[in-house]
Amino acid sequence: MPKISLNTNLVLIGMPGVGKSTIGVLLAKVTSRNFLDTDIYIQAKEGRSLQEIIDREGTEGFCRIEERHVLSLNCRSCVIATGGSVVYHPKAMRHLGSSGIVIHLDLPALERRITNLDSRGVVMAQGQTFSQLFTERQSLYRKYAQYTVPCGNRIHEQVVGEIIRQLGIS
């Protein structure tokens, strides 16, 4: 188990709708860390919503913008909730992992939780289903994560407790 100091970032990755932002805020509070949501950060820096970026720049353009902004992050002692597509960027994932512990929040059957897929700013190929996207990304989440936390049948506070337990944070 890696040594986790207060300066260590805790990086949450996973599919849209898994609860990265909500769990991230709770985890930041419990571990006395700052909280950063990369989707909100990108929107603030770009002055437009994720969906507007995707609509205007396409998915490849969005991915370039996302990677650039994630690579610009220089924080310590943060809980970072990433966008679900960050795993498409090896440089960005190495950057996030260089100062933190990467935690995959895993929850199958997410489709029922996402009612606004067309306006949410989800990076998907034309004609790709959410199920296909899930399958495509799962191997990438597992590749980059040092820990995987199953979120099924758990409320957010229980997920935070499981993260704390797995990381050995007291």
Residue 125 within any structural domain of the chain: yes
Residue 2 within any structural domain of the chain: no
Farthest-apart Cα atoms in the chain, separation: 46
Residue 143 within any structural domain of the chain: yes
pLDDT, the chain, mean: 89
What is the CATH classification number for the domain harbouring 133? 3.40.50.300
Residue 107 within any structural domain of the chain: yes
Residue 18 within any structural domain of the chain: yes
Residue 54 within any structural domain of the chain: yes
Distance CA 56, CA 17 (A): 23
| 137 or 158: which leads in pLDDT | 158
- In terms of residue numbers, what domain contains 111? 9-167
Confidence of residue 73 (pLDDT cuts 50, 70, 90): very high
Residue 1 within any structural domain of the chain: no
In total, how many domains does the chain have? 1
Strand-pair partners of 80: 11, 36
Please say if the pLDDT value at position 140 is more than 90.
yes
Q: What is the enclosing helix (H) or strand (E) of 144?
A: helix 130-144
Confidence of residue 3 (pLDDT cuts 50, 70, 90): low
Residue 4 within any structural domain of the chain: no
